[in-house]
Amino acid sequence: MRQINILLAAVAVFVTAASCEKTDYGAPDKDKYIYDIPQTTLGSDAILGCYYSNYTSEVASKIPEIPSLGFYKTLDEGVIARHISWADQAGLDFFILNWNGTSGDKSLVEAFMTARESESNVRFILCYDTKHLNVTNESPLESENKYKSLIAEFVDELSVYMLDDSYFKIDGRPVIMFTPSNLSSDALLSIDYKKVIDGFRTDFESFYGVDPFVIGQITTGWVAPVNYADHQIYSFDAVVANAWKTRSYDVFFGFFSFLDINWNNWKTTLEKRAVDFIPCVYPSYNDRVKDTKSYYYTFAADGDVKDYVKFCNVAKRNIGSHNLIFINSWNDWAYGTNLEPSDLKETRFLDETRKQFKKQ
């Protein structure tokens, strides 16, 4: 009798399962997650910033493309001037120069300011890395001594750059980026960005009569905004996440639609609290020469612009109210993310950048 009951129960389960609608169970509708990205036209020009590296030829043996300028060093005579000319061709508005308090950072900034001709449309902004301030959970950036060090650095050095005509401004407001806003798990109490950025705005405006436009930089991608503390994303005028490589085949298979979903979540979440999301695109990605054991998927590694065009259109679909879009990068050759002309790309990616983001 017990065996009969078990058999009847099994039959009932089978019949019930067979009678269910196809949409009730099983895999989700892939069309909701895997879809084509249409060509998108902006109503006005995007404002384009591009990450710029102090490249040296010491890594020449580990890069997938050969620079059109050859294996240069950025500070060599004529290099930055040529880069600015190409950037004008691409329609870039500014380069993003890293600042971590080193002499090399200062040399690069001053070399750019010297090389830039007054008629150029390309300016620069600083990405201020808090690493050199040596903040900790026990000695956070908002503490009196650390905060004084921050302000002193801006007063003594950086304000001169930020108020210069070669520095990019939005409505007269010098743009400054702080990184990283995604604090590591062992340093979550090292910076309260709400306190720091509020204080920085007040002090900078009291000294120089202008409220800076402040961007927070998240140094990874794919993580949803809900996973960050409020002060890490809502303390800024805008937020950018600058790294979108992936090791996941599923993500790679539907890369641009997954990216579109992710960025739409970022944009709609941030704009509810008057913070802009800045899409950040790769021209290409290929770190397989640098690291032959890399598991990251490559794209546009053949020099074709078709993947870059898709990336650009995802960015345009998710652009914020200030029309800012970042490109990562101009010349990070080791990761094959260069917009700068090469033997493989020539100037095609420059021309495509202007075509996608400017109304000509």
The pLDDT tens digits of the residues spanning 25-55 come to: 556 677 788 999 999 999 999 999 999 999 8
- Establish if 16 belongs to a structural domain: no
Contacts of 344 (CB under 8 A, 6+ apart): 64, 65, 66, 302, 303
Q: What is the pLDDT of residues 127-161, one digit of tens each?
A: 999 999 999 999 999 999 999 999 999 999 999 99
The first and second tokens of residue 145, run together, are: 């001594």
Reported pTM? 0.92
Is residue 10's pLDDT more than 70? no
Q: What is the pLDDT of residue 31?
A: 77
Q: What is the pLDDT of residue 19?
A: 43
For residues 128 and 102, give the distance between their C-alpha atoms in angstroms, rounded to a whole number: 11
Is residue 125's pLDDT more than 80? yes
Is residue 238's pLDDT more than 60? yes
- Establish if 339 belongs to a structural domain: yes
Rounded to a whole number of angstroms, the CA Rg of the chain reads 24
Q: What is the pLDDT of residue 57?
A: 77
Q: What is the pLDDT of residue 176?
A: 99
Q: How many domains does the chain divide into?
A: 1
Contacts of 333 (CB under 8 A, 6+ apart): 53, 55, 59, 63, 64, 65, 67
Residues 291-319 as b/e (b if ≥16 CB within 10 A, e otherwise) read eeeeeebbbbbeeebebbbbbbbbbbbbb
Average pLDDT of the chain to the nearest whole number: 93
316, 269 in Cβ contact below 8 A? no
- Establish if 29 belongs to a structural domain: no
- Establish if 4 belongs to a structural domain: no
For residues 80 and 86, give the distance between their C-alpha atoms in angstroms, rounded to a whole number: 10
Start-end of H helices in 304-347: 306-317
CB-count exposure of residue 50 (10 Å: 0-12, 13-18, 19+): buried
Q: What is the pLDDT of residue 29?
A: 75
Start-end of H helices in the chain: 2-19, 79-90, 103-115, 144-153, 159-162, 193-208, 230-233, 249-253, 255-271, 306-317, 348-357
- Establish if 12 belongs to a structural domain: no
> What is the arithmetic mean of pLDDT over 297-322?
97
The first and second tokens of residue 272, run together, are: 């509810």
- Establish if 353 belongs to a structural domain: yes
Residues in the chain: 360
- Establish if 10 belongs to a structural domain: no
What CATH number does residue 324 fall under? 3.20.20.80
Q: What is the pLDDT of residue 6?
A: 39
- Establish if 23 belongs to a structural domain: no
Q: What is the pLDDT of residue 28?
A: 64
The first and second tokens of residue 355, run together, are: 């075509």
> What is the arithmetic mean of pLDDT over 53-79?
90
Q: What is the pLDDT of residues 182-191, one digit of tens each?
A: 999 999 999 9
Peptide bond into 180 cis (omega under 30): yes
- Domain span holding position 292: 35-357
Q: What is the pLDDT of residues 242-276, one digit of tens each?
A: 999 999 999 999 999 999 999 999 999 999 999 99
